[in-house]
Every structure is written in structure tokens, then in C-alpha cells.
Amino acid sequence: MLERRGSLVLAVICACTACPPLRQPPDSLLAAFTLNHTVPLEFYYVDDSNKGKGTHYKYSQSDINQLIREAERFIQQALSVLFGSTHPWYECLLLALGASHVTTVEYNKLTYSHPLITTTTPSLLETTSLFHTALSISSFDHDGLGRYGDPINPDGDLVAMDTVRNVLEENGLFFLTVPIGPDVLVWNLHRRYGYQRLPLLLCGWEEVESVGWEEELLTSPAPFTIQYEPVLILRHLAGCPFLP
């Protein structure tokens, strides 16, 4: 989510070109994907590309108004940070909190029929305007793996972080969730971030606060299907980008 003068954007940054998704990493890129063969490789194949089976999420204005009412009741009952959804629940949470408008940037097809929600595609995301805050909900760990038809890129997640950096004001805040634990690349499902790749992902950001963080889970053995995603609240810093 990107905020600019009262408006919010839910951003999933990706470009769709590969179809169907590859069932294994290209041999020529395997070393790059696994940090010179130091990150274990597992397999869990998914095709969420538009050119494959694809997905098209549709919600009417009455559906979204109902979600907003539910979000208002939720906010009254619990003041907590909550992330991760495949429908416009979090957009509705933001509207319930008083956001003037929410724009969702998504590579899959979306139809959210509501005057306060706009949907668009990553290619139309403006990188010339600066935003105050950003929020990525369990999305950047997928970038570069081709699952959603995005280009195969060992550094796709780092490119996505760099894109956020480029559209945020200096000292802007970024709310980020990704799977945390012992490093592993699960092709083509997602990455899990541990001591090796997490510092690369967070380069150029200062951690302001975290919600649900447990240091020991960085190294505790766990199946790659186990989801542990604390919320990292980061501040945009000048300098130290991973990419030139």
C-alpha cells in the first residue's frame, strides 16, 4: 500500500511475461537463486499466471461495503496489525480507518466495484511521484519465480524492494511481511528469509519496529510450508540500495 496525501495504494509489484511458469529454476540461474548454492532448494509448483489458469477476483460495491462494516467492527474490537489477504479486506480496513481512497496494484485481474477503490496493473504504477507510506502483504517473496507470470529473476524480490524505495519519500515508512525462518527457495512457491537473504532484502531500510518477531525462529528447523510472517515496520533511508 502506498500513501500519497491521504490516498493509499496496495502494491504488488510484478510484470507478467513468462507463461507457463517454469517447473524448475533455469540451470544458468540456479547459483544466483540459491546464493551460490548455499540456500536449500525445494519444490512446490503453482501456476497463478494470467496466461495460465490465472485468477480474476470480482467484488461488487455491496460486497465491499459489507466488508467495510465488518472492518469497522473489527477495529473497534482489536487494535492490532493484520496482513495477508486475497480479497479487498485490507483495503476495507484502510477505508474504515479513514483513508480517502485506496488503489490496488496487482498483476492478476481485479474487479473491485467501489468508488473509493481503484485497481490498476504494475506497469501503470507511477514511480515519479513520492508517497508517504507503503505496505506489502506477503507478496515480494514470490517475485522473480514466475508463479504469477512475472519474469524469471533471481533478484526479483530485491528489485521489488528497490521499486518501493524509489516511490517513497526519504524517511517514509514501509510495512512488510515475508516468510521468516531458515533460508530456503521453494520453487516456484516462494522464498523464506533467514540470516542469508533477509539482510539483502532489508538493505537500505531502518527497522523502526516489528510485530510478532521471534529471533529464534530464524534458525529453528521448520517445513517450508509453515508460514511465520511477522510485520516489519521499516523506514526508508537515503543510500545503501542493493541495486545500483
Virtual torsion, Cα 199, 200, 204, 206, nearest 10 deg: -20
Q: How far apart are CA 10 and CA 118, in angstroms?
A: 10
**Can you list the domains of the chain with their CATH numbers?**
2-236 (3.40.50)
Cα separation, 121 vs 45, in Å, equals: 24
SS3 assignment, position 193: strand
- Whether the upstream peptide bond of residue 221 has omega within 30° of 0, thus cis, is no
pLDDT tens, position by position, for the chain (244 residues)? 333 333 344 433 333 344 688 999 999 999 999 999 999 999 999 887 766 555 676 788 888 888 777 766 654 443 332 333 457 887 787 777 777 777 777 777 788 888 888 777 777 776 666 677 777 888 899 999 988 878 899 999 998 888 888 877 778 888 899 999 999 999 989 999 999 999 999 998 999 888 889 989 988 998 988 878 998 989 887 655 555 4
Side chain identity at 134, as an amino acid letter? A
- Positive or negative torsion for Cα 71, 75, 78, 82: positive
Q: Are 99 and 75 in contact (CB under 8 A)?
A: no
